[in-house]
Structure 1
Amino acid sequence: MSDVHALSGAYALDAVTDIERQQFERHLTGCEICTEEVASLREAVSELSALTAEEPPPELRGSVLAAIGETRQLPPRVGSPSRPARRTPRRLLVAAAAAAVVVGGVGVGVTRPWQDETGSGQVVSLADRVLRADDAQRVTQEFEDGAKATVVRSPSLGRAVLVTSDMPPAPKGHSYVVWLQQGDDMVNAGSMARSPDQTVLLEGDASTASAAGVTVETDPDAEDATTDELVALFPF
């Protein structure tokens, strides 16, 4: 990436690849500006977790995406050696965090923060809530090469999570796509990153799904599976 400073927002929201994470963490050791911004953004996300979750109106996602497309992210200005200049006012950091929560459904793996119901103040993701749910249902498949994949569904939360271990990458130019079986239709629930160990929050209403399946596709956003061969099937 030509401007490593621009990774600060994605890094704070854990929306970077492993390579970007390593690159940015090396950068953080010598950049006080980015260190300060990451801390501020994480604090803003923590504050957002105390808000009451409500279903956003349909037009909100489109307006947020349009605003993001018109906003240019600039590299930090260099301040005096004794006090580095702050790049982004705090109110903009809060807005950026709010946008990330609203647009989280665009990419699988971007988590939404929630307040822990135990009252401890710990911020937990929706994926964690599914995994911890009292009604969590787990279906696991183990493969001959030692890889393992588990789908966890919480009917009360209406969501499902895919957890993989030692999963080999999809063939070059392809992606693992996860589907939810809704009646006679398989609905795209998101794609998996090229990482052997990951936790993926699936999109869609898992409470009405009868199964989850994984196929290999050239288009991660495909509306229909192009192959009849399932890599894995998880009946609920």
Structure 2
Amino acid sequence: MTDIHALAGAYVLDAVDDVERVAFGRHLAACETCAAEVAELREAAARLADPTWSVPPPRLRAEVLAAIRRTPQERPGRGVRSGRPGVGRWRRRAALAVAAGVLAAGAGAVTWTVQEQRVRDERASVTALEAERERIRAVLTAPDAVVRSQVTPGGGRVSVVVSAGRDEGVVTLGGLARPGTDRAYQLWLIADGAATSAGVLPAGSDAATVLVTGVRGKGAFGVTEEPAGGSRQPTATPLTVISLT
């Protein structure tokens, strides 16, 4: 019969059958040594599952597998040398289960790395957004800021603030007729009859505040409705054209 004291590791890792689980559960009530061992093993397992626990180094998986390869394995048919029959079998089962747990922790480390990269990307996006807001604020408060505004035929409004000194401008669009999901409003800077794209709104969007660059020397600003993603040159009659001079 298997030494019941050897079941502590397998019991914690749920690597026992129903009969062994019931028998060991009764044994725990009367054995302080096994109860203490079970408590320690459960704490270790909880730490492995805790997402705040330290991430194992990448080499850990290779070291665990190498250790398993180096460890002599009991061949079938050979007697157990321990004085307690079945102890080696249960210890090997517990060791393999623990090794599987360590490898699972390694997989968790990969998930942690992906999540960390996502956090870094989100932080970079927030930083870029804050920098753009500062640039918009600088244009709006620039000493040479020129403000132009016009109501569109559909009742919307387009406002443009440009600073030649900063070579930047801020465009605000609101109340425009909503284009279809496959259409988008495109912004243009115009000089000597030539139009240069200054940005494209998301498809279907009818309002936005956009920072534009390269306004120095441009005589006008225009908005057209284009296919989603924009066009190289205007393909429709401008919704509005605002003089910047």
TM-score, structure 2 normalization: 0.46
Kindly indicate which of the two structures has a greater share of residues assigned to helix: 2
* Structure showing greater Rg: 2
